[in-house]
């Protein structure tokens, strides 16, 4: 950093006089001062010394106190020239044909020690991100300024999965799942108990009545086509459950579709043909 080099300064100011003028009368009295005469001043820069605090740029001192004006100007010019040409900023950016989007190379001058960094990029090699929607998936985008937001949505939440959505019983309304987490509830009827095991995922349906409470008729009553038959039992109740099996095919008939039944007394029920067509059946009454 330069210091004051002025040792023998014959400093002079130009000859501007501040004495009173002869004509007109000296001002401010009586009145009418003339326009001031232009006066320039020439000085030796080495004779003017800066005595303020050190002049700094961030953490570097550019001009020290007690530096003459000539050296101070040289210090300022030197600082900025070194900053502009310094090795930290000796970089060149160029657009060039490269196999990569971005290449960075460096080269150091052995004489000056200056390292030049070359940043080479090829806009045609910019990576492209493409989002494709698969089966049951949709992809939408929303651009706001320089930001693009992608939204991925599941548009098929079950039709391609191996699941049951509908539970159908002949002659009854179909039970349809209303959502992915809908619940199917089993209700135990007369003489039936239902238990579940959440560990083994099992549902057990059991006849809760004693075996003697059920009467099975082996005489194989025959239901006339489009007619009905009365079946007697000894349960002394109208709160009974009836099942009917086709004796020829050993297939259970469906109440409300193949046949209908109704209680007619404490120990009697009637079984009527609906679409069965008549024939021998096996009737079980549980109460």
Containing H/E element for 76? Answer: helix 69-85
Q: How confident is the model at residue 46 (pLDDT cuts 50, 70, 90)?
A: confident
Q: What is the pLDDT of residue 195?
A: 92
> How many Cβ atoms from other residues are within 10 Å of residue 272's Cβ?
15
Q: Which of 70-84, 99-113, 189-203 has the highest mean pLDDT?
A: 189-203
Position with higher pLDDT, 199 vs 209? 199
H or E stretch covering 80: helix 69-85
pLDDT band, residue 159 (cuts 50/70/90): low
pLDDT at residue 89 greater than cutoff 50:
no
- pLDDT one-digit tens code per residue, 106-139: 788 887 777 777 777 666 666 677 888 888 889 9
Mean model confidence pLDDT for the chain: 76
> 3-class SS at 217?
coil
What tens digit of pLDDT does each residue of 213-265 get? 555 555 578 888 888 888 888 878 888 888 888 888 888 888 888 889 999 98
Binned at pLDDT 50, 70 and 90, residue 101 comes out as: low
> In 244-264, which positions are buried (b, 16+ CB within 10 angstroms) versus exposed (e)?
bebeeeeeebbbeebbbbebe
d(CA 188, CA 193): 6
Mean pLDDT of 142-149: 87
Q: How far does CA 135 lie from the centroid of its chain?
A: 21
By DSSP bridging, strand 214-216 and strand 166-167 are unpaired
Check if the beta carbon of residue 274 is closer than 8 Å to that of residue 259.
yes
């Amino acid at each position: 950093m330069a210091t004051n080099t002025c040792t023998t300064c014959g400093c002079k100011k130009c000859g501007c006089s501040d004495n009173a003028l002869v004509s007109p009368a000296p001002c401010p009295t009586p009145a009418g001062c003339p326009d001031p005469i232009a006066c320039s001043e020439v000085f030796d820069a080495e004779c003017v010394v800066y005595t303020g605090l050190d002049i700094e740029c961030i953490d570097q001192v550019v001009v020290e106190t007690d530096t003459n004006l000539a050296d101070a100007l040289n210090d300022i010019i030197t600082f900025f020239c070194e900053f502009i040409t310094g090795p930290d900023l000796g970089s060149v950016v160029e657009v060039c044909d490269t196999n990569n989007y971005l290449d960075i190379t460096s080269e150091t001058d052995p004489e000056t020690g200056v390292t030049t960094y070359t940043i080479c990029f090829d806009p045609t090699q910019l990576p492209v991100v493409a989002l494709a929607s698969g089966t049951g998936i949709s992809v939408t985008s929303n651009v706001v300024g320089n930001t693009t937001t992608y939204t991925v949505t599941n548009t098929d939440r079950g039709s391609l999965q191996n699941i049951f959505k509908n539970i159908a019983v002949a002659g009854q309304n179909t039970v349809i799942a209303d959502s992915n987490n809908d619940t199917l509830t089993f209700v135990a009827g007369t003489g039936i108990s239902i238990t579940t095991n959440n560990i083994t995922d099992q549902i057990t349906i059991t006849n809760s009545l004693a075996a003697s409470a059920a009467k099975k008729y082996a005489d194989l009553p025959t239901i006339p086509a489009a007619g009905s038959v009365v079946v007697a039992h000894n349960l002394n109740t109208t709160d009974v459950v009836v099942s009917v099996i086709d004796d020829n095919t050993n297939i259970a008939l469906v109440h409300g579709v193949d046949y209908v039944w109704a209680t007619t007394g404490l120990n009697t029920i009637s079984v009527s043909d609906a679409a069965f067509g008549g024939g021998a059946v096996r009737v079980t009454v549980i109460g």
